[in-house]
Structure 1
Amino acid sequence: MCILVSFSDVATVYQRLGINQHSAGVQLVNFYRWKGTESVIDLGCGNGQLTALISEKTAEKVTGIDRSTKMVKVASSNYPHIHFSCADLEQLHPDAFNKYDVAFMNSVMHWFQKPQETLKKIKYLLNPNGHLLVQTPLKSWCPQLETIIQQVFNCKEFIPFAEAYNNPWFHLTSDQAYQHFFQKFGFNVTKSQVVTTTTHVSGNEQIWDAFMSGPAQAFFAQNNYSCQLPKDYEHHFKKQFSRITEQNQIDQLNYNRLMMSLFL
């Protein structure tokens, strides 16, 4: 995969960039009623902040995995008492890990290229009656950022790239659609809730940071385009992005997310 910006590139600054994802993850941790005896695997653990929070909820083993080597390095450095491992969940052989009581998945599912196959692997990682905790953006994930991105793509110089872009994200439109999806694989829904959170922003850079915290990894990935991206693509994209942001005078970002607690 040829990527102009990747999660490894932002690993050391993700604590600043990923404040919205972290906030949603804290909500997901609190969405579940912990007994204190659960073994947990954090799938797509990033810099390990949420893994560390989870480790405070249980006396059993907590493991974090992420496909970014730099993210795992940051996590291991910050939280040496927790075991972190570099692994791509979609390429994972389930036998490579123990079985767990809880699988935790925050802002990860929408990146799945093969969601059905990956969910089967996650199911294999769980003990009987195991729980899966999921936070994932809805298809309309952030109207303000979506509008800015669309307006960038509407600029004359970006129209060819807009036409060549293939959205890599796995998004469903509603709570009911996700419930149906998980039920097909044998999961039962304990609790499910759509949550809209508002982040107040001041200035173009804060909005750009929100874009760089996740969406940039899709829009700056060469293999999501059927044409060749120029080397200065990110520079020109940011230039138009900042111009549009300033014109629209955006002072808040609204994120639409789904929180789910499921069990086998």
Structure 2
Amino acid sequence: MSNFNEISSKYEKDSVIQKSASEILFDLLNIQPGDNVLDLGCGTGHISKLIRAKTDGQVVGVDPSEGMIEKANEHYSGQNILFHTHLAEQLDYKDEFEIIFCNSAFQWFIDTKKVLKACNIALRQNGKMAIQAPATNNYCPNFIQAIEEVKRHESTKDTFSCFTSPWLFLNTSDEYSALFEEAGLSVEKSSIDKVTTSHSAEEAYKIFESGASAGYLNQTYYNIQVTREYIESFRNIIKKSFEDQAKETGQVDLTFYRIYLLAVKK
């Protein structure tokens, strides 16, 4: 069974896509020395560490996964970063941060309206929040193709039919903007970009395991018991799909559609 507690030990090494996408957030937010920054959905803290290098202000990382926070504290203790375990919906800060940095986490929020209201309260006047997250129902055509094979395969189709997606995928940037505007934040940039990178089939599988498997193989999102046999078959089908998607060069052109949004508290 996969969830973020279980994948935390390999997340920092395998989260290639999340790391590269975060670079755009740094450009959007332009963190200044002295800024207080909240890393919302900080995972194992590798982005929090980069934030720490850009500011002498307070850096706080929050994540709902105890395993992720445990690894964050293990890796970055002594670097003056505060890590806390709790849901984004439970944020209780007020007028504390100039910056909220949210990288590859927005799709996981259970109640986005509640989260954004809490973020508005947590930001200081003229504070900024930026998100990067997979977007649209076709968020990664390669993943979708692999999952379609899981849906059809005799060994997995019945169990997978009992899966309910935990993710929020909106199909237009305007829909994302509307959520932020409703929370009282002014959207300055909002676009869904297509990003394609090349990887070996093995690397593509590791990228899948670094995030998507925490949903697709999580008992929480099935209404029947998930067996070890199902998990093994599921993973074998996904691996085989990436191998089949590879070109003659052995590389998979991995495509993601991602929302990049910058909002300001006016």
Normalising to structure 1: TM-score of the pair?
0.91
Once the two structures are TM-superposed, the CA of residue 188 in structure 1 deviates from its matched residue by 0.5
Once the two structures are TM-superposed, the CA of residue 38 in structure 1 deviates from its matched residue by 1.5
1:239 to 233, 236, 239: 236
2:125 maps to 1:128: yes
Residues 95, 124 of structure 2: 8 Å contact kept? no
2:208 to 202, 207, 211: 211
- Taking the aligned partners of 1:155 and 1:42, their CA distance within structure 2 comes to 40
- Taking the aligned partners of 2:23 and 2:228, their CA distance within structure 1 comes to 37
Q: Secondary structure at the match of 1:8?
A: helix
> What are the Cα deviations for residues 81-119 of structure 1, in whole angstroms up to 9, with x where unaligned?
132323222452515x77211111111110011111122
- Taking the aligned partners of 1:38 and 1:125, their CA distance within structure 2 comes to 13
- Taking the aligned partners of 2:246 and 2:62, their CA distance within structure 1 comes to 39
- Taking the aligned partners of 1:21 and 1:123, their CA distance within structure 2 comes to 24
Runs of 4+ in 1 over 6 A off after TM superposition: none
Once the two structures are TM-superposed, the CA of residue 196 in structure 1 deviates from its matched residue by 2.3
Percent identity for Structure 1 against Structure 2:
25
1:166 to 133, 139, 164: 164
Q: Which runs of 5+ in 2 are unaligned?
A: none
Letter in 2 for 1:196: K
2:24 maps to 1:23: no
- Taking the aligned partners of 1:93 and 1:255, their CA distance within structure 2 comes to 29
Once the two structures are TM-superposed, the CA of residue 247 in structure 1 deviates from its matched residue by 2.9
Q: How does 1:103-122 map to 2 (within 5 A)?
A: 103-122=100-119
- Taking the aligned partners of 1:24 and 1:254, their CA distance within structure 2 comes to 13
- Taking the aligned partners of 1:248 and 1:198, their CA distance within structure 2 comes to 14
> What are the Cα deviations for residues 27-54 of structure 1, in whole angstroms up to 9, with x where unaligned?
2112223332311110111121111111
- Taking the aligned partners of 2:85 and 2:246, their CA distance within structure 1 comes to 41
- Taking the aligned partners of 1:157 and 1:33, their CA distance within structure 2 comes to 49
Q: Which runs of 5+ in 1 are unaligned?
A: none
Match of 1:189 in 2: 187
RMSD of aligned C-alpha atoms? 1.8
Residues 43, 89 of structure 1: 8 Å contact kept? no
Match of 1:87 in 2: 85
> What are the Cα deviations for residues 140-178 of structure 1, in whole angstroms up to 9, with x where unaligned?
211111111111111123222232111110111111111
- Taking the aligned partners of 2:246 and 2:127, their CA distance within structure 1 comes to 46
Bigger mean CA offset, 105-114 vs 72-81? 72-81
Once the two structures are TM-superposed, the CA of residue 220 in structure 1 deviates from its matched residue by 0.7
Q: Secondary structure at the match of 1:164?
A: coil
- Taking the aligned partners of 1:259 and 1:130, their CA distance within structure 2 comes to 17
Once the two structures are TM-superposed, the CA of residue 216 in structure 1 deviates from its matched residue by 0.3
2:57 maps to 1:75: no
Once the two structures are TM-superposed, the CA of residue 134 in structure 1 deviates from its matched residue by 0.8
- Taking the aligned partners of 2:167 and 2:127, their CA distance within structure 1 comes to 27
- Taking the aligned partners of 2:244 and 2:10, their CA distance within structure 1 comes to 28
- Residue-pair matches, total: 259
